[in-house]
Structure 1
């Protein structure tokens, strides 16, 4: 068994991080003791690491249940980029690919397998799993997006219900259930439906401190407001709309305003949706305009803003969708546009439901969203309260807290309100309580003889909106509770009685209409860092395009910013940066150090960067010499890559640099003479520019690898002719 003090070293070696995020270490320790786990951790909190690191430290295969193909592929790509043996099995593969991957799994060459729930419990797949258990062992079942197992969750999927069969078939294999959002009811349902045995339950705070939350009125100039947000914020963004028509209209407007935007909704073909999603993930476009069909399984950490141009259907969905911003812990913005027209659209949708109870619950959830949008309390207090987490307010990172509104003492009014709830025997909702307080003449009041109560008519001095504002605030502050069965019945709690006994003061915020602006401070040093970060981001994009992977798989934005701030001068310093593991240091260290050095030279700063022990730029580095020796021994590019545990594209880069540095490599063994001549001609015309425009000029029959190798020879000849 691994000694727990070693966990940080393993974390740095495999994933490049110096320390665990809150809650991760304890979860991993419990996983290493083969316990069943129930993990509730917000989006961006680091759920994946909680099963990925134990998978590397335990014997056998870890099977990860994931509902979406895109999510599987993203996570496997990121793991492989850290030199971790992971694979997936899904419908995107042909029969040969499935067979070869299954063979690798049975031979113990894979540590993490990602698979969809329906495939996992199929009659064909379970016998394969039996063989794996006998030959290499099964370390863990990790059930990602575990809320899908519960009918009370926001994204119920019936196929998840079948996963209980894993517990019956493999009773000794521990199971880890993971989700980003789950109320008490959903958590209990997950534990029951998956058959977890005395699970260790870990619930980290739902508070995402890096996200700025704001609600804006949706006026006639709503599009201008959206465009302003898009232009204010550098980086990627998602804009959610209620309807397909709205998605298409908004995309068209943004494109006309020279914003690189694409649509995503169920009306597009599977191929269109997949292409648009890939282009967004790879930073080919900045903005995705989408219905809520888009988002689950999007493993893009550097989304800088999420805009809801229409009202979401419930608070849980809003938390999930807005939470796709800032998964890398960098400052990000979540804006909700609200007007009452959206309510009618959602109500129409709710009325299409055939189940009366479903309708009731959906209407209650809509009311909670409206309360959030109209709420004057701290946005985090409202959101976190929905998940049963108490938050004191004054977060300093939402519109209500950044622009404090006048606070008034409404203790007397609160006592009246709560007393009325008590006298109505805690059997009614907010609307009825307000009617009683204001002396209403409704049929319900007459039927229940509530016009005879002492609280009848004692609140005529306040409007319906004022009483509703107080009721909302009491709920948000936890001074009263509400049933979640669709009827929204108000219930008193211990704090309610403290108010009524004059043991607790009630302060509420009085709203003032004012536009909130979202600003970040800037300085000369900050501008410098931004310029270098932008250059490193461009380099990352170029490398990612060459490898056909999303840019964030190479390094997260937070790591690029750290590079720009620290500006390391050696590989040792570079390797100490958070987000740089041993594999990425070997693969990308020299390339990024060279870019930092070039920037420092242009700025007239000292640039004594030593990538290795050979200071001459025309001398091969240690890592290039290692590649050269293996190449001269007759190994192919793929064999060298396998031997050195780095990507073939990195070996190609080494060989191109070795050619440029006048080392003995026969280019004709790597690129045909015909292709050499054509690439050379294009280089003579276009000059020493990036590979992508060169390839666009040549056509798809020419690879980036060929162009890079020939460019190495071309550069060498150019330099020789200039001497």
Structure 2
């Protein structure tokens, strides 16, 4: 392992609390340090931020981060400061004096990362120079593309950064970008030779669930009863929907907030902060809510309506389970959602493009095969096996010979001369005397009442499948009338067989039963007490609770019950800074549950972190109140484990040669070195046991 790799890993643990990199993180960081432009596509919660935050700690100048929302900037900066990292943001809310002070700190090399919105780039012209900046990171880069799902015109102006600072590397990052959007990002930012890193889009921890929209409120109430005390977001299509749904949930005693663009800025900020700080359990929101949310413990996301495209859906469900723990995405959909969006798109300049993306989203919702396969294939990723973690895999649909049923439906479409939408077709089949049926005389048709044995919902289910299977299609430009396709004639006149999936039964959720396992009860009890402590600390410091430790870290603490600093440092998400600031309080809670026996060998990890900060063995020994020999034994183990690649900081070449000669002489004399004392004596007690141990490890590994 080379020196840079050592430095990267030690910084990752010290500042962010993780033992190892995920996916392509390390390669991306190496590319950035070597000066390459990059486009990084990594799923929400996949660790994009570390890709540009960590190298900023190793390079001498400032990393400039372009981020779309003030709330997101503040959140990121608070999180970095909690990890002992110098970070700041600039936006229009700061006074001229405050902005000027931050720019002076950048010029003096005192800030690792500086965040700002694209609209605020004009505030920092004085530091847009190669002597002040190490690299530029453009987060949420899909906002730059007209093909993306969150187009932000101000992002279009960022191309000047590469044009004016061609020698400074630029990294663009996003969670979702199809091929058209990827090309647009590269072109618009002027990073033509960028290295492209695409991580897997698969968020395995999120259970994908899709249901028809009938009885949504009842289903949502049942869902929430199964996820008590868990944070969640419910996305609605309109402002009115968010208000009405929130009111219904509050009437059931549920702690729920509202967020939409029609609220004033103060109310929106309060709704967001209450949710981030766990004051509000659930938020009913339009899609305006979420991009600025870095809350790691959102356990579920519900879509009250069908999203307008798969990119939006993927981005929004990605707000659940960012900590890697199990999460759920529940989507409700109806034919009405398609009609609503088709009306919206009539006013857009790219109506055909938007409609095509909506229909891909509809295909996903109507699917009768593995949903994760469909989702990943949209982004060009192939999943060989069914995921086993979606509603279709858990409850595969049953198929039946629906040829006669299809003939009835297609015949009804033909007999109304292909001039009616789905609702009227169902009225004809069901013999419903609606105003349209009576006005047009459809009650005189041969097919009137031919499908009265099925429910309206069943007919909607079967007609949707007939559309998906291309037996008929929706003419959106002709008032959403259903039209027959050439395939329909094969069914009507040539006896072509049609197989359709049976409607799924609407199963009610059952409330989770209380766990009876003693160990699980214990873990839940510890986790809840740790959450209480975290909440108190967060209130005292005025930061979101998950910036202290996220839920995944607390759950690992509850499971492993660390009771020493060394053991706590071994938990993912616990770095040296957080160990120093919060460790003692958390250990006090954990001591009530855990064993006080110290695990052999764990203590060397603390020495590793201190050595990585540049401390000498003597300084580490003094700080840790251990002997210098003990610290040298830690160094030997670290070298043997590959965490340290060079020993010249701890042993001189002359000392190594002396130890090698003395060892060789003893072995020639037939001395078996089962312990170090004979070697220590042979060296006239001039080199301590710790150094001898390092030298022996070095010589046995035969490293150059």
Fold conserved (TM > 0.5)? yes
Check whether the contact 2:400–2:502 (CA below 8 A) recurs between aligned residues. Answer: no
**Aligned pairs (5 A) from 1:502-517:** 510-515=501-506
What is the CA–CA distance in structure 1 between the aligned matches of 2:126 and 2:100, rounded to whole Å?
14
Residues 314 and 306 (structure 1 numbering): CA distance in 2 closer, same or farther, change over 3 Å?
A: same
Q: Which residue of 2 aligns with 1:489?
A: none
Match of 1:279 among 274, 277, 284: 274
RMSD of the alignment, in Å? Answer: 3.1
For the residues of structure 2 that align with 1:274 and 1:113, how far apart are their CA atoms?
Answer: 22
Report how far residue 101 of structure 1 moved. Answer: 1.4
Other structure's SS at 1:3 match? helix
Contact 1:597 1:609 in 2 (8 A): no
Is 1:535 equivalent to 2:535 in the alignment? no
Structure 1, residues 475-497: CA drift from partner, whole Å, max 9, x if none? xxxxxxxxxxxxxxxxxxxxxxx
Partner of 1:38: 39
Query: Which secondary structure does the structure 2 equivalent of 1:154 belong to?
Result: coil
Aligned residue number for residue 222 of structure 1: 216
Contact 2:226/2:511, CA 8 A, preserved across alignment: no
Contact 2:222 2:510 in 1 (8 A): no
1:138 to 133, 148, 151: 133
Tell me, in whole angstroms, the C-alpha distance in 1 between the residues paired with 2:279 and 2:262. 22
Deviations along 1:460-518, whole A, 9 cap, x unmatched? xxx998797488589xxxxxxxxxxxxxxxxxxxxxxxxxxxxxxxx998344134669
User: C-alpha distance in 2, partners of 1:81/1:197?
Assistant: 36
Task: Measure, in 1, the Cα distance between the counterparts of 2:117 and 2:63.
Answer: 14
Give the C-alpha shift of residue 519 in structure 1.
Answer: 9.3
Q: Quick check: 2:401–2:500 contact (8 Å CA) kept in 1?
A: no
What residue is the counterpart of 1:147 in the other structure?
142
How is 1:707-722 mapped onto 2 (pairs within 5 angstroms)? none
The residue number in structure 2 matching 1:389 is 381
Could you report, residue by residue, the CA deviation over 1:662-687 in whole angstroms, capped at 9, with x for unpaired residues?
A: xxxxxxxxxxxxxxxxxxxxxxxxxx
* Distance in 2 of aligned mates of 1:205 and 1:606: 39
The answer as to whether partners of 1:153 and 1:182 remain within 8 angstroms in 2 is: yes
Find the aligned partners of 1:441 and 1:254 in 2 and give their Cα distance: 42
8 A contact 1:377–1:509 mirrored in 2: no
Q: Which runs of 5+ in 1 are unaligned?
A: 414-433, 445-462, 475-506, 611-723
Residue 19 of structure 1 corresponds to: 20
Contact 1:407-1:508 at 8 Å conserved across structures: yes
CA-CA distance at 1:59 after TM superposition: 2.2
Deviations 1:426-483 (A, max 9, x none): xxxxxxxx999x9999999xxxxxxxxxxxxxxxxxx998797488589xxxxxxxxx
Q: How many pairs does the alignment contain?
A: 525
1:202-238 deviations in whole A, cap 9, x for unaligned? 001111000001111222x321211221221132100
Mapping for residues 398-413 of structure 1, pairs under 5 Å = 398-406=390-398
Greater relative CO (CA pairs within 8 A, separation 6+) = 2
Conserved? CA contact 2:297–2:322, under 8 Å: yes
Q: TM-score, normalised by structure 1?
A: 0.68
Query: Is structure 2 residue 551 aligned with structure 1 residue 557?
Result: yes
Aligned-pair CA distance for 1:271: 0.5
Q: Give the Å deviation of 1:46.
A: 0.5
- Alignment partner of 1:206 out of 201, 204, 216: 201
SS of 1:215's partner is strand
In the TM superposition, what are the counterparts of 1:369-380 in structure 2 within 5 Å? 369-380=361-372
The answer to whether structure 1 residue 576 and structure 2 residue 575 are counterparts is no
What secondary structure, in the 3-state scheme, does the structure 2 residue paired with 1:104 have?
A: helix
Q: Tell me whether 1:79 sits opposite 2:80 in the alignment.
A: yes
| Whole-angstrom CA distance in 1 between matches of 2:465 and 2:213 | 20
1:563-610 Cα distance to aligned partner (Å, 9 max, x none): 000001111111111100000000011100111224x3xxxx766799
Change (3 A) 1:469 1:390: farther
SS at match of 1:342: helix
| 8 Å contact kept, 1:377–1:473 | no
User: In structure 1, what is the Cα distance between the partners aligned to 2:92 and 2:562?
Assistant: 44
Return the TM-score normalized by structure 2.
0.70
Whether contact under 8 Å (1:27, 1:202) holds in the other structure is yes
Separation in structure 2 between the aligned mates of residue 588 and residue 66 of structure 1, nearest angstrom? 29
1:175 aligns with 2:170: yes
Structure 2 unpaired stretches of 5+: 404-408, 420-458, 471-497, 600-704
